[in-house]
Amino acid sequence: MAKLYLVPTPIGNLEDITLRAIRILKEVNLILAEDTRTTAKLLKHYEIGTHMVSHHLHNEHRETPIIADKILSGENIALVSDAGTPGISDPGFLLVRECLKAGIEVECLPGATAFVPALVGSGLPSDRFHFEGFLPQKKGRQSRLKELAVIPHTLIFYESPYRLVKVLDEFSTYFGAERKASVSRELTKMFEETKRGTITELLEYFKSKTVKGEIVIVVEGLKI
């Protein structure tokens, strides 16, 4: 029976992909890509000629039932995001839910996810953690920060480089300036950087820099 494969892709370094992932991407009938231009570079690098179509936040509601029907008709389909594991702050949840409702087998391969190396390398407790991903940009942002401030576990956030200083300033206000944290950027790439310190120290450091690359922020939980 055909199935849906969730295939993690490298978050930067193209070598960070499993042999199994390469095989699956070659064997499936169709690859669903968040951005076909980005995924095309990966497919070209590994000489993968599988047909590819777009599947992203703006079309997933419309396309999900159609994709499920394709799998039910016998097509094996793989879903990839631009980088990392599908469904982690990227499209994937709706398709997985629809496939499971339809009795379709879903297989998720292990692989790259940005928050794992950021968390492990932060020096903060990793036995229990809360993955928040991206904070709300407007409505509910302040109330959400207040809720997160009292969580006793390590907190993990994704953020744009353009909003890094702003969010660190908010963390200082809501979490406390002396909480420990780390900021990781350009993970697995040539200019990878992880900066550790108090929120105040990180804020001062990044105020004086032009920041590039996707950001993972790890923050110490509330001490009880």
My answer on whether 121 and 84 are in the same domain is no
Count of domains observed in the chain? 2
* 176 shares a domain with 98: no
Instruction: Please state the rounded mean pLDDT for residues 25-30.
Output: 98
Q: Decide if pLDDT at 156 tops 90.
A: yes
**Phi-psi bin for 162: left (phi > 0), alpha (psi -120 to 50), beta?**
alpha
Work out the pLDDT band at 88, boundaries 50, 70, 90: very high
> For residue range 177-202, what is the model confidence (pLDDT) as tens digits?
999 999 999 999 999 999 999 999 99
**Last-in-domain residue among 75, 108, 141:** 108
Residue 214 domain-assigned (yes or no): yes
| Residue 224 in domain | no
Q: Are residues 91 and 119 in the same domain?
A: no
> Could you read off the pLDDT of 100-129 as tens digits, one per residue?
999 999 999 999 999 999 999 999 999 999
> Which of 108, 134, 160 is where one domain is finished?
108
For residues 92 and 126, state if they share a domain: no
104 lies in the same domain as 119: no
User: Which residues, in sequence order, are CB contacts of 109 under 8 Å at separation 6+?
Assistant: 5, 6, 7, 8, 18, 20, 21, 24
Mean of all residue pLDDT scores within the chain: 96
* 130 and 88 fall within a common domain: no
137, 65: one domain? no
DSSP state of 190: T
- Tokens 């390469």 belong to 22
pLDDT digits (tens, 9 = 90+) for 124-155: 999 999 999 999 998 999 999 999 999 999 99
Tens digits of residue pLDDT in 158-169: 999 999 999 999
Q: Are residues 155 and 68 in the same domain?
A: no
Please tell me whether residues 124 and 214 are part of one structural domain. yes
Q: What is the mean pLDDT of residues 60-69?
A: 95
**Which residues fall within 8 angstroms of residue 48, CB to CB, at 6 or more apart?**
22, 25, 26, 42
Query: Do 119 and 207 fall into the same domain?
Result: yes
Angstrom distances, CA of residue 9 to CA of 12, 37, 62:
9, 14, 24
Which DSSP category does 91 fall into? S
Residue 42 lies in a domain: yes
The CATH number given to whatever domain includes residue 191 is: 3.30.950.10
Domain of residue 163 covers 115-219
